[in-house]
Structure 1
Amino acid sequence: MTKSLVGYGPIRQTRVGVSSSRGFDSESLGYHVGQTLGYGGERVYGRLDVDYDNKGGKFDSKGNRISPDVNQTDQQDTESLSVNGSLGVELTDSQRLDLAVTYYKDEQNTDYGPDYGDGLAVLFGAKPSLKAIDGANVENEPYTEKSSVNLSYSDDDFVGSGSSLNLTGYYRDEKGRFYPSGKTAGTQASEVWQANGLTDTATLKKLASAATFVTQSEADIEVMGLRAAMQTETEVAGKKTLLSYGADFERENSEQTYYGQDLNTFLASNGLTAQTNGLTYNGGPDTTIDKWGAFVNADMDITDKWHTSAGVRYQKLKSETDTFTPIYEQLLEEYFNSPAISGISAAYGIDYQAGDVEKGSTDHDKTLFNLGTSYQITPNDQVFANFSQGFTTADIQRALRDVRAGFVVNSDNVQPITTNNYEFGWQGKHGDTAARLSGFYNESDKVVRFTDDYTVEVVDTDERIYGVEGSLSHDISDKWQVGGSVAYTRGQYDKDGDWLELDAVRLTPLKGTAFAQYQFDEGSNIRLQALAIGGDDKAFKDQQKDPDASALPVTGYMTLDVLGQVKMPVGRVDYGVYNLLNKDYLTVYHQTTYGDLNRLPASGTTYGLSYTVDY
């Protein structure tokens, strides 16, 4: 809710909608209902939005139900509730207090699971069918829950000085439970067997296959922070200058836990039934990250055409991690001490005891600079250039999840990532045509990547990312508008002196969009839009030189959507036909991440229809 709604009066809106797959299969049907109530008074204004969604299953272009995404969980068969509220008060003519509160909760309730094959064969290298199998029974279904509170105070004439003050405090909490999935410690188990004298390949393979576990992950991230900023108009070298300065603090607490599932039950059902077995595993250490910052920035009009800005920021990052047992240490201890393996372990003198990573802390700081300028070369054309620096840490908890016992958490071993970002370009509008063309170049001193077994590591080596983006729109008439965009990005990282290509997990391949829209006299419209992704195998070929790399080739694809709005005597109808041509394809994510069980097809043609009325 913004100050612009002061005096607006009553606000009421009702929304209903339905969605379906191409074949109108009953399992694909979803629906949505929503209601908005608000009021904009002379001094007080507020708004409440409540939306409920019930999503059905997804079906591919052949009409087959798509298997659940067991790696990151999907939105099939979920119910969700979203609540957004805001309240504002004009305390005086210059002072304002605003409160915003949000809540979101979704939970999956599905009868379908993935096809692991007989005896969970997919976990041991068999090719998955990718079929969705009826009969799933998951004791604790996946869910997502998010809540946030934001309270801000602003004064446009702080103590009568003409300066403006803004104070903001915020809090948010995000929780989530993922789909149960099989996990194998076979590689790590083989290393231990070999270290203790077992070299027979067939025996190693058989014993490694027994190192199978089923877990379900839950995560909780809590963030709270404060920001204070002032803006003051002054003069520097005779030029009007807007000075902005302030400080901020943010604390993030995160924890992740894996809950063990009964393996015999999972095996007997070929992965369809998941029941907890009472065991828990660390998903990395409980972590607290504090971020302190202070900044000052100046914006100046050097001439009526030339604008420039410059600033400096001091950033401090501190983290504390609790003692934890790495997950593979826990799994290996359970494996070597299991009844089926313990006798063989004893014969080879293996008495595996899981080790810990002791609690630790890091402390880093850096002074960062930014500089930007723009020049109005004609009344319709502007060129710009910007430089900025970034300073952050990788997801510490996620990165530490895969370390081995004895790892020492300190400022030397867990280092931040520093980036330099450069941008330059042109934008303009000539008659009925608007366009923008920009280029960028970013460099950093670390690489965050998935390895070939999908653990995460932060590699201390240089990285560079660069590219070009362009957009164009043109009003053919007062009814027709066309346009599009293109983005091309490349990047490399330094591997022993060679620059190797970054893969599509990090960078989006060549991407293009296009649209044509027609506006009817009575306010209705229809829009045809296209999305094209280019194929790319550069990183896959290049990273053959890196044995720890996990790059995969990308196959390009193009999809078409039709969207529109019909103005009714009361309210409006919105409609959409997505993947209009029923294209059979895999998104970049499903082509390049995790293993074969993640090569899931995208949805075929999907329909959406909604009705909205304001009153």
Structure 2
Amino acid sequence: MRTFKLTLLLTLVLQIIYSQEQFSISGTVTDADGDPLLGVNVYISDLAKGAVTDENGHYFFKSIPKGEYTIVASTIGFVKQRKKIGLNAHLTEVRFVLAEDIQSLAEVVISASRTPEARDELATTVTILSREVMEQQLNITSNISDIMSAKVPGLAPSTGTSSNFGQKLRGRDFVVMIDGVSQSTPLRNGQLDIRSLDPALIERVEVIKGATAIYGNGAEGGIINYITRNSDEDKAFSGSTDLSASGAFTNIDNSIGGRLSQSFSGKIGKWSYLINGTLEQTGAYKDAEGDVLPPTYGLGETNSFSGFAKIGYDIAKNQKLVLTYNRYSTKQNTNYIQVDGDYDTGRKSTAELGTPLGVPQGTKNNNLHLTYNHQAVFGSTSLHADLYYQNVANTFFWSDSFEFGGQSQIDSEKKGARVVLHSPHTFTDKLTVSATYGLDLLNDITSQPLVDGRTWVPEMNMVNLAPFAQLKINLLRDLILKGGIRVERITIGVDDYTTLRTVNPVTGEIDNPGFEVKGGELEYTATVFNAGVRYNRFPWFSPYFSFSQGFSVYDIGRILRAARVTDIKNINTEASIVDNYELGFVSKLLGKLRLEAVGFISTSELGSSGEFKEGIFNVVRSPEKLYGFEGTIDYYPFSNLNIGATYSYLEGKRDVNDNGDFSDEADVYLGGDRIAPPKITAYAKYSPTEKLDIYGEIIRIGNRDRFTMNDSGTYDVYQGPVKAYNVVNLNLGYRLTKSTTLNFSMENVLNEDYFPARSQWFTRENLYTKGKGSSFKLGLTVRY
């Protein structure tokens, strides 16, 4: 009996041990070429257990009870894969080979949080312009300011000139970047930064709307990031040649221009390369009546040169170095001089033959950028490091507002470094967490002298040190929570200087006799935050809400040059923090329709509006409130037809008496330099045959009339009413062979005779310029 009991007890113990026997699962995740994939989320849905692949694509689970399970592998840019397994051995190996998801790759966004994210996981409004869109638009125009205005809701109408002054993003300044490196000069914003890269070099554009501090000073309205092309061929050598000619339909004399763009790219072993050179010479630009457009900020009779090289080296499977150099320059070589118009009588500014005073207007941009990527610097944490150098020289037109006349030039030199780490963690299939954190270091030296050496804006030497961190939590697969923080520490050194003697254009008298100003150091410290939530349970309704802050040292050079005191400590150079709130949703139906709508409010306790009084520019620092709505719709009724439209509305006011109420009689609307009129764009792309593509778009700029005339019976600067106008563009593309395409396009097909929005609200005689009339472009593209 005793033996029986011992045997029974031993049996029970063995059964318990066996029933608790644990198993392990291991495996690898690779792409279709067999290369390991790092950072893939692998989880066992039945047990709510997760893991992340390492640099060898390897993952491992231990202490798994015996049974049948579903194991899932997913990551951005690849099709999610599920496998059912049964654990019968102590160690079971499960391998995944993931297929690339082309559609998903097109929806990956880098700029929003400085690490790749799926667009559907963002709690903010983003506009993405793909390479296909950029190439389509380049067939119509090489002026990237026109391209951006046509395709980005919330961006003010194009000025039709080389300057994007007044072309705000949601009513505020934005930062233009190339591969994440700022091209803007916020210390003295010359607002020529949109045209800092030839559009032929752009792989995609990411526009992040609303205040953001993720990239530092100046992005009150958001960021525009030009992401440059890579070598996209596995061949050792490939290339493309683009040749085009353009001219005016209204009056072809002296309007013919040409463009040549040549690219070579390839991959040889561990090396990859892309080299591009582009030359463009525009003819005289004409308005709808066939008259030459004036040369002030003009795009006509301008020579442009772009030189670009990107060299990559694969140190190892998960480590890569990329060195990029970009030079972009423009120079206006014109035989015309300005003839000012008259806003009060409606007489447009024109041009007549003559020799311009001073040196040619133009820009010079040089960028050198070294990046290092390590996809598994420790565990599943990836590292992205940058070193960059940039210098900018923007030369403006001759002005009689300086004593004895003169031309100014913005000189800016930036040197910077940054380190970004990204750590993903999968706890279960219903809980993933990722952290992005790093440090930015920037030295920006900017000044605005006259070409003859006189000081207008003294040299400003800024040092900016900013640590930051972002956290993203994905709960229950569909709920996404995000938050971040950035600490700005900025020091700006200014030497003693004397303000430049300037002339009042109204009275002709000296309005600034010149002040000796004591320099010193300006110091700024600020902590800014962002937070957001998005719910993706239903494809037909994915709502999101976000709060974000932006930090900006408002165009301090503009304040310094107009100083009326003897010490910079007595100048109101206080920084501005902007709070941005937005609520929106995305709707996707039947795989054919995408609809997005968003409303937003943007506030700042210390605004930065400008106003002119008796010809003198003043900066007004009072509270501001801006609000608006944007909508986008894309519809694919058939595989060969795509139609879409966007709508933008914006309004804003200043709380003049600073009582927290923007509806008092004393409070005023913001001027046209800040608030754009409503904008509607609509487009259609149709391919009736495999060889023929037809693309058309209409851009309508609506009315805005918020101000009354002054005592002189005219409108103050920035306050002129804007009357609606329409611009229609068309492009026809025909593939002669598999590698050769012929394009014919027309700008302003209906030859609309109009003043662009800026000409209308600015009211200044020297910028009372009409828009470009009907013109054509004929191009040939050969790829090999």
> Normalising TM by the smaller chain, what interval?
0.7 to 0.9
Which residue, out of 415, 436, 441, partners 1:249?
A: 441
Which residue, out of 295, 298, 312, partners 1:68?
A: 295
Instruction: Tell me the secondary structure at the aligned position of residue 9 of structure 1.
Output: coil
Spell out, residue by residue over 1:39-72, the C-alpha distance to the aligned partner (whole angstroms, 9 max, x if none). Answer: 1234110100100000111111111111222xxx
Which residue, out of 717, 726, 738, partners 1:558?
A: 726
Instruction: Tell me the secondary structure at the aligned position of residue 399 of structure 1.
Output: helix
Which residue, out of 427, 440, 463, partners 2:624?
A: 463
What one-letter code is carried by the residue in structure 2 that aligns with 1:364? Y
Cα distance, 1:381–1:543 mapped onto 2, change above 3 Å: farther
Aligned to 1:170: 388
Cα distance, 1:355–1:2 mapped onto 2, change above 3 Å: closer
Cα displacement (A) at 1:477: 2.1
Q: Distance in 1 between matches of 2:570 and 2:509?
A: 34
Is 2:679 the counterpart of 1:511? Answer: yes
Instruction: Tell me the secondary structure at the aligned position of residue 597 of structure 1.
Output: helix
Instruction: Please say which of residues 490-499 and 221-230 is displaced more in the overlay.
Output: 490-499
Q: Distance in 1 between matches of 2:537 and 2:708?
A: 43
Contact kept, 8 Å, 2:539 with 2:588, in 1: the verdict is no
Aligned to 2:328: 104
Q: Distance in 2 between matches of 1:88 and 1:456?
A: 48
Cα distance, 1:5–1:598 mapped onto 2, change above 3 Å: closer
Q: Distance in 2 between matches of 1:157 and 1:3?
A: 22
Aligned to 2:653: 492
Instruction: Tell me the secondary structure at the aligned position of residue 501 of structure 2.
Output: helix
Contact kept, 8 Å, 1:540 with 1:553, in 2: the verdict is no
What TM-score comes out, normalization by structure 2 length? 0.65
Equivalences for residues 357-376 of structure 1 within 5 A: 357-376=517-536
Cα displacement (A) at 1:523: 4.0
Cα displacement (A) at 1:421: 0.9
Q: Distance in 1 between matches of 2:348 and 2:675?
A: 29
Equivalences for residues 316-465 of structure 1 within 5 A: 316-328=489-501, 354-406=514-566, 408-410=567-569, 413-431=572-590, 432-453=592-613, 456-465=617-626
Cα displacement (A) at 1:493: 0.9
Aligned to 1:86: 310
What one-letter code is carried by the residue in structure 1 that aligns with 2:701? I
Aligned to 1:601: 770
Instruction: Tell me the secondary structure at the aligned position of residue 307 of structure 2.
Output: strand
Cα displacement (A) at 1:286: 1.1
Q: Distance in 1 between matches of 2:488 and 2:292?
A: 49
Contact kept, 8 Å, 1:282 with 1:326, in 2: the verdict is yes
Q: Distance in 2 between matches of 1:226 and 1:485?
A: 37
Q: Distance in 2 between matches of 1:33 and 1:364?
A: 46
Instruction: Please say which of residues 576-585 and 394-403 is displaced more in the overlay.
Output: 394-403
- Tell which structure's C-alpha radius of gyration is larger: 2
Gaps of 5+ in 2: 1-227
What one-letter code is carried by the residue in structure 2 that aligns with 1:175? A
Cα displacement (A) at 1:13: 0.6
Is 2:177 the counterpart of 1:18? Answer: no
Instruction: Tell me the secondary structure at the aligned position of residue 599 of structure 2.
Output: strand
Q: Distance in 2 between matches of 1:128 and 1:357?
A: 41
Q: Distance in 2 between matches of 1:560 and 1:9?
A: 42
Q: Quote the RMSD (CA, aligned, Å).
A: 2.9
More helix by share: 1
Aligned to 1:576: 745
Aligned to 2:432: 240
Aligned to 1:267: none
Spell out, residue by residue over 1:280-308, the C-alpha distance to the aligned partner (whole angstroms, 9 max, x if none). Answer: 53222211122211111111111111111
Spell out, residue by residue over 1:511-531, the C-alpha distance to the aligned partner (whole angstroms, 9 max, x if none). Answer: 101112211321421112101
Cα distance, 1:25–1:328 mapped onto 2, change above 3 Å: same
Q: Distance in 2 between matches of 1:508 and 1:330?
A: 30
Contact kept, 8 Å, 1:503 with 1:540, in 2: the verdict is no
Instruction: Tell me the secondary structure at the aligned position of residue 398 of structure 1.
Output: helix
Cα distance, 1:411–1:164 mapped onto 2, change above 3 Å: farther
Contact kept, 8 Å, 2:600 with 2:627, in 1: the verdict is yes
What one-letter code is carried by the residue in structure 1 that aligns with 2:260? V
Contact kept, 8 Å, 1:325 with 1:405, in 2: the verdict is no
Aligned to 1:536: 704
What one-letter code is carried by the residue in structure 2 that aligns with 1:585? Y
Cα distance, 1:542–1:166 mapped onto 2, change above 3 Å: farther
Which residue, out of 549, 569, 586, partners 2:755?
A: 586
Q: Distance in 2 between matches of 1:243 and 1:543?
A: 58
Is 2:641 the counterpart of 1:480? Answer: yes
Is 2:487 the counterpart of 1:295? Answer: no
Cα distance, 1:373–1:116 mapped onto 2, change above 3 Å: closer
Q: Distance in 2 between matches of 1:52 and 1:365?
A: 44
Is 2:329 the counterpart of 1:113? Answer: no
Equivalences for residues 120-139 of structure 1 within 5 A: 130-139=349-358
Spell out, residue by residue over 1:568-606, the C-alpha distance to the aligned partner (whole angstroms, 9 max, x if none). Answer: 124112221010100010111222236122111111101
Contact kept, 8 Å, 2:604 with 2:623, in 1: the verdict is yes
Contact kept, 8 Å, 2:231 with 2:274, in 1: the verdict is no
Cα displacement (A) at 1:489: 0.6
Instruction: Tell me the secondary structure at the aligned position of residue 572 of structure 1.
Output: strand
Contact kept, 8 Å, 1:447 with 1:458, in 2: the verdict is no
Q: Distance in 2 between matches of 1:47 and 1:66?
A: 37
Instruction: Tell me the secondary structure at the aligned position of residue 487 of structure 1.
Output: strand
Contact kept, 8 Å, 2:363 with 2:393, in 1: the verdict is yes
Contact kept, 8 Å, 1:326 with 1:405, in 2: the verdict is no
Q: Distance in 2 between matches of 1:129 and 1:536?
A: 20
Q: Distance in 2 between matches of 1:368 and 1:139?
A: 44
Q: Distance in 2 between matches of 1:108 and 1:257?
A: 20
Contact kept, 8 Å, 1:511 with 1:533, in 2: the verdict is yes
Cα distance, 1:116–1:234 mapped onto 2, change above 3 Å: closer
Aligned to 1:200: none
Q: Distance in 2 between matches of 1:540 and 1:144?
A: 38
Q: Distance in 1 between matches of 2:397 and 2:605?
A: 35
Spell out, residue by residue over 1:398-449, the C-alpha distance to the aligned partner (whole angstroms, 9 max, x if none). Answer: 221112242x223973110111111110112112221110111111122222
Cα displacement (A) at 1:168: 0.5
Aligned to 1:77: 301
Cα displacement (A) at 1:166: 0.9
Spell out, residue by residue over 1:512-555, the C-alpha distance to the aligned partner (whole angstroms, 9 max, x if none). Answer: 011122113214211121011111111457999xx997422111
Instruction: Please say which of residues 594-603 and 463-472 is displaced more in the overlay.
Output: 594-603
Aligned to 1:314: 487
Cα distance, 1:353–1:492 mapped onto 2, change above 3 Å: closer
Aligned to 2:374: 155
What one-letter code is carried by the residue in structure 2 that aligns with 1:285? P
Cα displacement (A) at 1:467: 0.5
Q: Distance in 1 between matches of 2:535 and 2:435?
A: 20
Cα displacement (A) at 1:323: 1.8
Q: Distance in 2 between matches of 1:452 and 1:573?
A: 49
Percent identity for Structure 1 against Structure 2: 22
What one-letter code is carried by the residue in structure 2 that aligns with 1:573? L
Contact kept, 8 Å, 1:56 with 1:76, in 2: the verdict is yes
Cα distance, 1:559–1:412 mapped onto 2, change above 3 Å: closer
Q: Distance in 2 between matches of 1:583 and 1:433?
A: 32
Instruction: Please say which of residues 144-153 and 473-482 is displaced more in the overlay.
Output: 473-482
Cα distance, 1:115–1:284 mapped onto 2, change above 3 Å: same
